[in-house]
Structure 1
């Protein structure tokens, strides 16, 4: 395999991957040493000094700028949320929709994206679904667009089979039709390059516990700041352009911030943001393009091995259509998950099989170990010797 970066050095930063065959980054990534150290430093400051909150907020703004760089956005376009679901709900409820309007989505996409918009049906909003397919692009949505269509919301990468959809063409369609475009990048961020401007997104939402290497409880929201008509469904002092310094609410001064802060309601997950800062530094050091290329090579190795075992791959094979890091083997999850666990192989059950999801720390030995474990059971009915 081509060496895009020092994978073995990276593995040493993730101690858990030396104790098991970890192929479950699509669920969550194990904690790295830099993230652990950032969390420990935060706890130490809190414990020893009762918390230098003003310093923590300054660091938060520095982290916001790093998120913006990751997405080719401005810091003023980034808000911190709790998770992807909260980000999607913020986006859905910020759209100026009225009864009779409709939103287009993909049937079978992540349910928490769908529910954010399905919840608007009580306001008379219609949600229309296109069929899931290996290829989803502008043409997929075009026939459902009418005068009442106001938005398209979709994932970039699917969690259940690793589809990577053509969000750039969909974004171009939205621009041509003056539609809002909302993208869930939870399964892409940190592994697949994402340019908010190129894809012409209105909102982009994600959590941070997969490709961004941070424990659960922190999310991100990108907002195209030219869309000043989009306002939050709720309000707090921090959401305002002029938060009252004396903490007295003033009904005559409630203009929302002209930055993505309008969508924040505070307080912030400051420990998570400290962890994210360290994770972003690690990702930047390695390079998203390198992480993507490395995962593609591991994925090609995995696909070849599955073919040798006559195991079908669920989802697309073509690099242009698939994510580099998410693969589903057509093995009945209820028959295989306990076996994988007994062999210290961490994977996830999915709709049509077993999901194998890669991270920056995985190597060829991880893939080969998985294939060995499968081969042993299929060919002999016995587990292999411990690696």
Structure 2
């Protein structure tokens, strides 16, 4: 298998890859050395001089700019959040929905996508679901759309089986029907190219602890700034257009910022944002297209070997419809998870099997160790 980047060199940046066969980046990525360096610098500055706050805020805007370029967006369309779930809740509550309107979701999608909208039922919003199938595109939603459909919310890539849905096609449908479109890109950012101009969403929501290598506690929201009618349900000094210099609240000064800052509330997770800055540099050095191609090659190899062992894949097999990095093996978690852990192989239990999810550092030797362990146990 021909690599699309120097995997052995990148592997040296992830010390955790030396101690365990880590096949669980869909849960949380191990920390690479550049991210640790950024966090160490932040901690040193905080410890030794209580923190250069202005410098930290400048770095925050630097990271915002890098993230914007990474997804082909404008920096003023990005708000920092705590995680994907907070971003989804911000999006759900910003929509100007009224009693009798309906929102379409996918059955079995991430629960935190569903809960953000199910919570709107208390306001009289109808939440409907379409079936989860291997292929989800505009046709999947078309028959469920009526005159009261105001929004579609869904994941780009599913966490539990690695479906990759056609969000660009669905985005076109939403534009045609004037429907708000919210997309959870937690499992796809850093793994496949994300271009907000092509997706045509209203909001994109994500955390940063999987494909972006940052410790948990940081997420972001991308907002289509042409949608100025979408306002936050809460307000803070940080989110108004003209923050008061004397820090005295004024009921005549409550207009939300014209930028995505309207969705931010209070202080930033400054340490994690600086870690994100370093992580984006690392990904850009490799190239997200190269990352995607490499994961697909690893996945092809994995599927080929699974076929030889007679082990089924839970999710889609074709590159067109599968995520490059997530593969769920139809093996009972109760029987297999403890065994694989005893072999120093880290993976996750999912609804219908054992989830294998790749990181930048995984190589064919990792696959060999996984499949040899499975083969050995099957022969017992």
Alignment TM-score > 0.5, same fold: yes
The DSSP-based 3-state class of the residue aligned with 1:313 is: coil
1:27-46 matched pairs, under 5 angstroms: 27-46=27-46
Q: CA deviation at 1:253?
A: 1.3
Counterpart in the other structure of 1:86: 86
Q: Say whether 1:202 aligns with 2:202.
A: yes
Is structure 2 residue 359 aligned with structure 1 residue 359? Answer: yes
C-alpha distance in 1 between matches for 2:30 and 2:269: 19
Structure 2 match to 1:158: 158
**How far has the Cα of 1:3 moved from its partner?**
2.0
CA RMSD, Structure 1 to Structure 2 (Å): 0.5
For residue 359 of structure 1, report the CA deviation from its aligned partner. Answer: 1.0
Aligned equivalents of 2:143 and 2:94: distance in 1?
A: 26
Q: Which residue of 1 aligns with 2:134?
A: 134
For residue 90 of structure 1, report the CA deviation from its aligned partner.
0.2
Do structure 1's residue 318 and structure 2's residue 315 form an aligned pair? Answer: no
SS of residue matched to 2:372: helix
After superposition, the C-alpha distances for 1:204-249 in whole angstroms (9 at most, x for unaligned) are 0000000000000000100000000000010000001100111011
- Give 1:281 shift: 0.4
Distance 2:369 2:62 in 1: 40
Structure 2 residue runs of 5 or longer lacking an equivalent are none
Hey, what's the Cα distance between the residues in 2 that align with 1:47 and 1:360? Answer: 32
Partners of 2:113 and 2:308 in 1: CA distance: 37
Compute the displacement of 1:19 (Å).
Answer: 0.8
Report 1:296-311 matches (<5 A): 296-311=296-311
Equivalence for 1:341: 341
Q: Which residue of 1 aligns with 2:377?
A: 377
2:56 corresponds in structure 1 to 56
Runs of 4+ in 1 over 3 A off after TM superposition: none
Q: Distance in 1 between matches of 2:207 and 2:286?
A: 21
What whole-Å deviation, never above 9, does each CA across 1:180-206 have from its counterpart, x for those lacking one? 000000010100111111110100000
SS in 1 for 2:57: helix
The residue number in structure 2 matching 1:106 is: 106
Shift of 1:164: 0.1
Q: Matched residue of 1:327: which SS?
A: strand
How do 1:261-340 and structure 2 match up within 5 A? 261-340=261-340
Cα distance in 2, alignment partners of residues 92 and 70 from structure 1: 24
Q: Distance in 2 between matches of 1:191 and 1:2?
A: 18
What TM-score does the superposition give when structure 1 sets the normalisation length?
A: 0.98
Give SS of 2:360's match. coil
1:15 aligns with 2:15: yes
Please list, as runs of the form range in 1=range in 2, the aligned pairs for 1:143-292 lying within 5 A after superposition.
143-292=143-292
Please list the CA deviations of residues 348-367 of structure 1 after superposition, one character each: whole Å capped at 9, or x if unmatched: 00000000000111111111
TM-score (norm 2): 0.99
1:384 corresponds in structure 2 to: none
Residue of structure 2 in register with 1:385 after alignment: none
3-state DSSP of counterpart to 2:196 = coil
Q: How far apart are the structure 1 equivalents of 2:81 and 2:155?
A: 18
For 1:341 and 1:196, the matched residues in 2 are separated by 39
Which residue of the partner structure matches residue 116 of structure 2? 116
Residue matched to 1:24: 24
1:320 to partner: Cα distance: 0.5
